[in-house]
Amino acid sequence: ATPISITVASGRGAEVGVLFRDAAAIEGLAHVDVLVLDKTGTLTEGKPVLTDVLTVTDVAESELLTIAVALEAASEHPLARAIIDGAKSRGIAAPEVSNFAAVTGQGVRGTIGTALVALGNAALMESIGADPAPMASRADALRSQAKTVMFLARDGHLVGCVAVQDPIKQDTRQTLAALQAEKLRLVMLTGDSEVTAHAVATQLGIDEYHASQTPANKADWIAAAKAAGAHVAMAGDGVNDAPALAAADVGIAMGNGSDIAKESAQITLVKGELAGILRARRLALAAVRNIH
């Protein structure tokens, strides 16, 4: 690309909310053949809503939500917002939690009174000796509707689960189809479960996805793809996505996401719309081909 074509692409990008950090970001994006996508906040709105509360016998829904909201009050995860708003609208107040700990990619735990409580995925339950199996089939039924399920344990016993739904961004499906038509290989990487990931991928026509990925797993997948000769762009929004954004040839931060994601990326899509990726790619291709 000539200096003038880079300047043109930067200027046009800025007009439509596509911010390229530098010339290398434009040239890099033009050469990408794999586009890795985070699910939550990238393909979806990142604004999950509490939809289901399931309890084991003897435990009241309000009891379950009381534990959940108490734990999430101290969390900054997007899932926490769904629980807090859901509990509030049901008139549930949050008691004090002590010994709070957030386990990255798994959930949250702490103490309420004398009870040890935890909320998160199956891996978190297993790590504290609570078997999620009694709710596994109900959890999978919710996940197959593309919902995210979180299990709740008290004193090492499973007491229930909650599910949230995060709407898919309005422009996602159409944009992915256009990106595929332009010969980009799409791969979704998510920390969410296999069944939820499958449901979302199917709705969106994404053939390749990997579920239950930690932030480090996402970065490793990208490093391996690069080592195999791929030119990789990664689009993400979360604090969690920063290592993967940094590992990619071109990191693309969704403007609706965290500042850490933006700092780790070469391109920022101001409006957080997925269509920004398509715009960015077309501007980059035009720049390297010297078409104004």
Give catalytic residue positions: 38
Q: Is residue 158 a contact residue for ligand ADP (CB under 6 A)?
A: no
Give the contact letters, 230-269, x = binds to ligand ADP (CB under 6 A), - = no: --------x-x-----------------------------
Among 45, 70, 77, 153, binds ligand ADP (CB under 6 A): 77
Q: How far is the CB of 200 from Mg ion (least distance, A)?
A: 12
Binding site partner of 148, from Mg ion, ligand ADP, none, Cβ cut-off 5-8 A by kind? ligand ADP
Query: Is residue 18 part of the contact set for ligand ADP (CB under 6 A)?
Result: no
191 binds ligand ADP (CB under 6 A): yes
List C-alpha distances in Å: 116 to 100, 144, 159.
10, 30, 12
185: closest CA among 209, 167, 153, 203? 209
The CB-side HSE value for 132 (13 A sphere, CA atoms) comes to 23
Nearest to 65 by CA among 113, 117, 139: 117
Query: For 54, left (φ over 0), alpha (ψ -120 to 50), or beta?
Result: beta
- Residue 91's contacts (CB-CB under 8 Å, 6 or more residues apart) are none
Residue 160 as a binder of ligand ADP (CB under 6 A): the answer is no
| Residue 108 interacting partner from ligand ADP, Mg ion, none (CB closer than 5 to 8 Å by kind) | ligand ADP
Instruction: Work out how close the CB of 115 gets to Mg ion at its nearest, in angstroms, rounded to a whole number.
Output: 31
Among 25, 30, 118, 119, binds ligand ADP (CB under 6 A): 119
How many of the chain's residues bind ligand ADP (CB under 6 A)?
21
Task: Quote the distance between the C-alpha of residue 185 and its chain's center.
Answer: 19
Residue 186's SS3 state is strand
Residue 139 CA to residue 147 CA, distance in Å, equals 9
Task: By CB under 6 A, name the binding residues for ligand ADP.
Answer: 39-40, 72, 75, 77, 79-80, 105-108, 119-121, 148, 150, 190-192, 238, 240
